[in-house]
Structure 1
Amino acid sequence: MQEFRRFIRGPVGKLLLAAIVIPFVAVPFLDYFSGSSSADTVAEVEGNSITRGAVNQRVERVRDMLRQQSPNMNPAMLDSFVRPEMVLDGLVNEQLILSAAENAGMVYSISQLNPMIQSQPLFQEDGKFSNDRFERELRARGMTPQSYLRGLRQDLIKEQYRSGFMATDFALPAELEEQRRLGEQVRDIRYAQLDLNELRNSFTVTDEEVRSFYNDNQDEFMRPEEFRIAYVELATADYADKVTVSDEDVAAEYQVRKSIMEDSTANTARHVSHILIEVGGDRDLNAAKQRATEAASAIAAGMSFADAAAEYSDDPGSANSGGDLGVVSKGALPEEMETAIASLEPNVVSEPVVSDAGVHLIKVTDVAEKRDMPPLEQMAGQIRADLKQARAEAMLADDVAALEELLYEHGDLQTPAEEVNAQVQTTDWVPLSSLPAPLANPQVQQALSTDEVRRDGHNSELIEVNPGQYLAVRIAEEKPAEPLPLEEVTFVIRERLKGDMAADKVQSLFAEAEAKIAEGADLEALADLFDTEVEEQDGLQRGGAEPSMEVVNGVFALPRPAEGESSAVAMIRTGNGSLVAYQLTRVEDGNVEALSAAQQMAALGELSNVEGQRNFRQVLAMLREEGDVELFPSRLSPNADDAQ
């Protein structure tokens, strides 16, 4: 790997790298569809694998979004809230939607993606698309052009599928009126509440009871293991001040780039359209050639190339857009097509061309003008920045290679750190579940949990936590788990015991109240049992939270009583353990006065949207039920490889 880095930084390596990169300058998107992962498969969905790496990447992306929205969120809470199992479930749904969309023949061609990407301000400089900016922005997000374009096309196809259900639902005026009548309905109630928190305060717990519970449940009151973590960090940014770039370096690099551009065939790109006749099934090569000849004859007789593509082409990505493949350059298409394109004059249709894909009719619609290299003064700043970045990355690569070996050769971090002019830093006492920055990373947490680091006290491997950022860690000191002092947990134990007493009392009163309701007791009798007063609340609305969400939901589930009468007494236990007995006394339907035309149109649109979402949830449930899905949740564990 080190020899490869040195080779790439040499003059021959630069020319080879430029030969690979330059085709993307003329057509930035055509060859970006590739990529794979070697991580373990955690799910198989319709023949497609979802890897542990993909799940972990999505988990970190979601957690990063939440960190930006709530910087003060407890990391442990964030880890428990965004779990790999939850993310895997979402990825399975996305793959099912994608597979269903592709099976339905939904596609997005490269020519459709190009203008969308080129119009994004994020990828523009001076109001124009910049390929350098495009690749730079993706690298900053840990993405490759391949993965970005593949993901964008898949997202658009999935959204097309969703819209087919969600954007095609509709609602009728009668449905709207019924929704308004029920949705805006209000109800009045009478209720008696036994508040668990108030009941808890009526109990007392002695010091002896607290001490006895503490002794009997020692395992519940332990301070977790804590560690002081030593670490060494290498990052590209740390080398910026160590790099110098002279004016002569900039001028030499400019000449190299200019020479590559002038010599490269990528500097003359052509706008190409084609008609593809596939070979397969009942159609052999001769039949494909015959159909291509029919298409050519139709064009010669006056049919436009675009109409012929729509009628004859088997390429779903370009047939409905006139056969347009966009601007292409050498290396972007099969060799047979490129040979034909090189000899074609603009707006002339080729003879049938045979490739592995089938038989093509090709037309060059435009030849891009040869681009001139901007003057050195205009490019000097960018070239200088590129050279500084490249040299900083090269210095980092040298130190990374050296540190990787030193970590194995030495039993401490200090010596390896000194060899690469880095510093060993040490954290305060922390549990492994709540590491501080820059150690708050699943890979670091996993490394600290291995037997080699945790039990044997070795250095970890060098971990790439972000592009251009590496960490090596070891456990400097360890503090075992120990019981918390009784005085620190006395209040918690006392409140817990009081809560248990109150809960037992509530359970007893609940059974007694149920028996009284069965005997026909009224609300006043239950209020006496609860030692409380009957209260009233008017104007309850659906989704309200007073006196409690459970009571509101229960009230709106009751049938409408006769005018002037009340419903039978009902009882519910709320989420916090309290008891509420209640009865419905009045129902008032929502406003059903006529809306204006504009209001009705907006309301019907919103109702249609709600129905569309509900409809799509049902579609997704059907895909989950009928789809070919196999899950391997045990492989989500960071230590899954060790267990296998």
Structure 2
Amino acid sequence: MLEAIRSRAQGIFAWVIVGLITIPFALWGINNYFREGGEALAASVNGEEITTREFRAAFQRYTQQLRFLMREGFSEEMLDDPATKQRVLEGLIEQRLVLDAAGELGLGMSDSELSKVIHNNEAFQDETGQFDFQRYESVLNSQGLTTAAYEARLRLSLLSEQLASTLHLSAFATQQEMEDIARLRHQEREIGYGIVPSSKFRDAIQISDEELRQYYEEHPDEFRTPERVAVDYLRLTAKSLATDIPVDEQTLRDLYAESKDQFGTPEQRRASHILVQVPQGGDDAARQAAREKAEEALRRLQQGEPFEEVAKEVSEDPGSAQQGGDLGFFGRGVMDPAFEEAAFSLEKVGDLSEPVLSKFGYHIIQLTGIQRGEAPSFEEVREELAQKYRQQLAEEHFYEQAETLDNLTYENPFTLEVAAEALELPIETSEPFSRSGGSGIGANPKVVTAAFSEEVLQEEMNSRTLELGPNDLVVLRVKKHFPADIKPFEEVREKIQENLTLERAKAKAREQGDALVERLRQGEAPESVFAGEEAWNEKKFYSRRGEGIPREILKMAYGLPHPQSESPVFAGQPLGSGDYAVVGLYTVKDGDLKQLDEKARQSLAQEVEQMHGQVAYRGFIDELRAEADIKIYRDNL
């Protein structure tokens, strides 16, 4: 739509369009700019706002996760699906509901507890198993996260786990449930089977030229080649620009001096603390009482009582009290700001702080260890500096060139050569691809949509500038158009013969297999029925895991009804290979809970309880949603 307006927006027509756009903007759109706070809403939950900025950030994180997990399978079209945006927004709404519920239930996550979780994460530890703040920042940066954003998300995740755990405690597995599941899961079936191979019939099948041609004429769609195009294109990426940027030594040394702290290992401190909590919404009297309790603890410490003993007795931090208040090593940006400032202001190991007020209450802090920061030499980080410098300049240069690419391919709509010469970009050519995509650049849905658009395919114009990914742009035009056609008979003759031979061999196998099943049902012994080329696999008990038996046959056998007498149940079924399977079910032996060892019974009980807990958690969230005042502003998404 916008491209059509752009290509025709001249003279009086342009002013008419401007007028049509201005009227609804004046009546509606400009109101958003005068909204209190100056920011549009994506939703609100019980009066708490979820801004479009929060939604866009969450959507960006979701996009990054999809790209990382799906890799080549990722499609930009997924992001245009309204259901995807709704899924992200629902996640934000659920987060607000969980936070509110956790607060009402008195659940919480102190900074020290959060710090312990982070420090114990192996992804953030060095080779010796110690927390490495530089690695911590590096891992988060690779995912586009700041430490503050990650810790907020982690706190929410842990609160959700607390809430789920609280609900799981109410779940239990009944004896009857355990017995029913054990009976089905550990069931064994006595199965015998034989296979009629379709290959044995292939050599005897003869197909005439007349039959081949008749099939060709009656099934033209099977031999139709779809409409395809090959495109010329210009591709501009920041990565390709970075390779051509020279870097002089002095520039790198200046950059090293400016960003030296980023490459070094920051100072870390180890501390123990005693926490005296201040109740949420507590008044001045409650705050004063907490402070006096903290001061009393400080006096005891100053009089020589061991910190560990006082912490175990006084501290109200459940995550550290039993460890004598020990919080381990931590760097800046992890703890509450007031706590962190006090901890890093202590000069010597053993020093005590005055009572420090954080959002959790009053802390008495003792410094128990210092790890001084270390910075690598210039030579050790020179290549990394050069790469970052080139990347930074490349991104700046990329936006300038992107504008030039867009302008020149628009101003010269019937050629790519002008832009290619100005930007010194090669004109590349794709392999032919259809409307369902192809290989290389033709695998990208945006490229396919643009290539088959009326503007590009029919009017033979350049496409608009397409964004294939971050700092990755392409403009294309059709080089050659291949209309849909039907392949000539001689080209597909062998394929038709192969297909017809296979189908008739399958039919022969099924015909013989059905006859064998009927003979078995009449009471003949499998050994005599399968006395020819085929072999009968003697009956044997198989569990649902089915080791030593083809999966298709096992699935078929477990789908048969229980034998109602001493006579087995026989049935037949074509296999995916084209062969035909004949199966006999002799006996069904149910699993017995009593036969499972204690470990297996406990595992089964935990599984059932977890399942009930998940149902309870989901029901709890649904109940919160039903009772909440939720407003969604879809037009702002």
Give me the TM-score of the superposition, normalised by structure 1. 0.59
- Structure 1 residue 290, shift from structure 2 partner: 4.6
Residue 540 of structure 2 corresponds to 539
Residue 573 of structure 2 corresponds to 573
Q: Following the alignment from structure 1 to structure 2, what is the Cα–Cα distance between the partners of residues 548 and 618?
A: 34
The 1:339–1:317 alpha-carbon spacing in structure 2 relative to 1, beyond 3 Å, is: same
Q: Following the alignment from structure 2 to structure 1, what is the Cα–Cα distance between the partners of residues 339 and 244?
A: 49
One-letter amino acid matched to 1:567: S
Residue 232 of structure 1 corresponds to 234
Identity between Structure 1 and Structure 2 (%): 20
One-letter amino acid matched to 1:252: D
The 1:400–1:582 alpha-carbon spacing in structure 2 relative to 1, beyond 3 Å, is: closer
- Structure 1 residue 147, shift from structure 2 partner: 6.5
One-letter amino acid matched to 1:398: E
Deviations 1:435-456 (A, max 9, x none): 4345644554555465555555
The 1:59–1:269 alpha-carbon spacing in structure 2 relative to 1, beyond 3 Å, is: closer
Residue 292 of structure 1 corresponds to 290
Matches within 5 A, 1:136-215: 187=190, 189=192, 206-215=208-217
Deviations 1:2-33 (A, max 9, x none): xxxxxxxxxxxxxxxxxxxxxxxxxxxxxxxx
Residue 111 of structure 1 corresponds to 115
| Alpha-carbon contact 2:147-2:333 (below 8 Å) kept | no
- Structure 1 residue 422, shift from structure 2 partner: 1.5
The 1:379–1:610 alpha-carbon spacing in structure 2 relative to 1, beyond 3 Å, is: same
Residue 415 of structure 1 corresponds to 418
One-letter amino acid matched to 2:419: P
| Alpha-carbon contact 1:231-1:413 (below 8 Å) kept | yes
Matched, 1:486 2:489: yes
| Alpha-carbon contact 1:111-1:326 (below 8 Å) kept | no
Q: Following the alignment from structure 1 to structure 2, what is the Cα–Cα distance between the partners of residues 494 and 183?
A: 47
| Alpha-carbon contact 1:229-1:473 (below 8 Å) kept | yes
- Structure 1 residue 115, shift from structure 2 partner: 2.0
SS of residue matched to 1:544 = coil
Q: Out of 429, 433, 455, which is 1:430 matched to?
A: 433
Residue 17 of structure 1 corresponds to none
The 1:586–1:486 alpha-carbon spacing in structure 2 relative to 1, beyond 3 Å, is: same
The 1:530–1:150 alpha-carbon spacing in structure 2 relative to 1, beyond 3 Å, is: farther
One-letter amino acid matched to 1:421: E
Q: Following the alignment from structure 1 to structure 2, what is the Cα–Cα distance between the partners of residues 306 and 63?
A: 48
Q: Out of 402, 405, 427, which is 2:404 matched to?
A: 402
- Structure 1 residue 457, shift from structure 2 partner: 4.5
The 1:485–1:235 alpha-carbon spacing in structure 2 relative to 1, beyond 3 Å, is: same
The 1:192–1:96 alpha-carbon spacing in structure 2 relative to 1, beyond 3 Å, is: farther
| Alpha-carbon contact 2:405-2:419 (below 8 Å) kept | yes
Q: Following the alignment from structure 1 to structure 2, what is the Cα–Cα distance between the partners of residues 148 and 474?
A: 43
- Structure 1 residue 522, shift from structure 2 partner: 1.8
Deviations 1:331-372 (A, max 9, x none): 9867x889989999952333767xxx6x74244544979968
One-letter amino acid matched to 1:429: P
Q: Report how many aligned residue pairs link the two structures.
A: 542
Q: Following the alignment from structure 2 to structure 1, what is the Cα–Cα distance between the partners of residues 326 and 129?
A: 32
- Structure 1 residue 211, shift from structure 2 partner: 3.5
- Structure 1 residue 296, shift from structure 2 partner: 3.1
| Alpha-carbon contact 1:228-1:430 (below 8 Å) kept | yes
Deviations 1:189-222 (A, max 9, x none): 3x56666676788766554444444334333432
- Structure 1 residue 398, shift from structure 2 partner: 3.0
Q: Following the alignment from structure 2 to structure 1, what is the Cα–Cα distance between the partners of residues 328 and 453?
A: 51
One-letter amino acid matched to 2:352: N
Deviations 1:398-420 (A, max 9, x none): 32343243343331332222222
- Aligned-residue Cα RMSD (Å) equals 6.5
The 1:149–1:452 alpha-carbon spacing in structure 2 relative to 1, beyond 3 Å, is: farther
Residue 11 of structure 2 corresponds to none
Q: Following the alignment from structure 1 to structure 2, what is the Cα–Cα distance between the partners of residues 521 and 180?
A: 32
Q: Out of 69, 80, 83, which is 1:62 matched to?
A: 69
The 1:532–1:628 alpha-carbon spacing in structure 2 relative to 1, beyond 3 Å, is: farther
Q: Following the alignment from structure 1 to structure 2, what is the Cα–Cα distance between the partners of residues 286 and 516?
A: 92
Matches within 5 A, 1:270-349: 277-280=278-281, 283=282, 285-286=283-284, 288-290=286-288, 292-293=290-291, 295-296=293-294, 299=297, 302=300, 306=311, 311=316, 322=325, 347-349=352-354
Q: Following the alignment from structure 1 to structure 2, what is the Cα–Cα distance between the partners of residues 548 and 373?
A: 60
- Structure 1 residue 424, shift from structure 2 partner: 1.5
One-letter amino acid matched to 1:537: E
SS of residue matched to 1:242 = coil
Range 424-433 or range 573-582, more displaced: 573-582
Deviations 1:425-484 (A, max 9, x none): 111223354443456445545554655555554444444544454433333322122223
- Structure 1 residue 148, shift from structure 2 partner: 5.8
Residue 219 of structure 1 corresponds to 221
Residue 254 of structure 2 corresponds to 252
| Alpha-carbon contact 2:191-2:585 (below 8 Å) kept | yes
SS of residue matched to 2:428 = strand
Matched, 1:521 2:527: no
| Alpha-carbon contact 1:509-1:530 (below 8 Å) kept | no
One-letter amino acid matched to 1:233: R
Q: Following the alignment from structure 2 to structure 1, what is the Cα–Cα distance between the partners of residues 497 and 185?
A: 47
Give me the TM-score of the superposition, normalised by structure 2. 0.60
Q: Following the alignment from structure 2 to structure 1, what is the Cα–Cα distance between the partners of residues 216 and 585?
A: 46
The 1:214–1:139 alpha-carbon spacing in structure 2 relative to 1, beyond 3 Å, is: farther
| Alpha-carbon contact 1:348-1:364 (below 8 Å) kept | yes
Range 546-555 or range 410-419, more displaced: 546-555
Deviations 1:364-407 (A, max 9, x none): 54497996877766665654454344333333343234324334
The 1:522–1:294 alpha-carbon spacing in structure 2 relative to 1, beyond 3 Å, is: farther
One-letter amino acid matched to 1:115: H
- Structure 1 residue 227, shift from structure 2 partner: 1.8
SS of residue matched to 2:119 = helix
| Alpha-carbon contact 2:513-2:582 (below 8 Å) kept | no
- Structure 1 residue 223, shift from structure 2 partner: 1.2
One-letter amino acid matched to 2:486: P
Q: Following the alignment from structure 2 to structure 1, what is the Cα–Cα distance between the partners of residues 409 and 272?
A: 54
SS of residue matched to 2:433 = coil
SS of residue matched to 2:236 = strand
| Alpha-carbon contact 1:234-1:469 (below 8 Å) kept | yes
Residue 477 of structure 2 corresponds to 474
Residue 634 of structure 1 corresponds to none
| Alpha-carbon contact 2:513-2:572 (below 8 Å) kept | no
Question: Which consecutive residues of structure 2, in runs of 5 or more, have no partner in the other structure?
Answer: 1-39, 44-48, 302-306, 624-633
